[in-house]
A = this chain, B = another copy of it.
Amino acid sequence: MKKAKRNSLEARGWRVGSVAEFLVLSAEDAALVETKLALSGALRARREAKKLTQQQLAKLLKSSQSRVAKMEAGDPSVSVDLLLKGLFALGANPREVGRALHHAA
């Protein structure tokens, strides 16, 4: 995974810029991004499994549809905390989150 990953990140708003700049995206940052993407994927999967709209999940979270969209898009403005709150609100537990992280990426 190299150029494909970079494009995927850029598409999601990480604004990495040149390849050179991408290379300074440290391993730590990459791990954090990977983690966030795994969680946003799990969030969308769970929401869809429950046949909820983003609007409905937003209400559950006392948030807004636009923020839920950003959560699922892995937007950089979304914290891991918020993603976890979303997953837990959908009935996940820490063990399941652990499994999701362990398998993903």
Contact = CB atoms under 8 A, between A and B. Distances in A.
B94 A104 contact: yes
In this complex, the member of A92, A93, A98, A104 whose beta carbon has the largest number of chain B beta carbons within 10 angstroms is A98
Q: Is the interface of A mostly helix, strand, loop or mixed?
A: helix
B104 A101 contact: no
Contact of A103 (B35, B38, B85, B98): B98
A81 B31 CA distance: 11
User: Copies of this chain, how many?
Assistant: 2
A80 B101 CA distance: 14
A19 interface: no
Interface in A47-105: 79-81, 84-85, 88-89, 92-95, 97-105
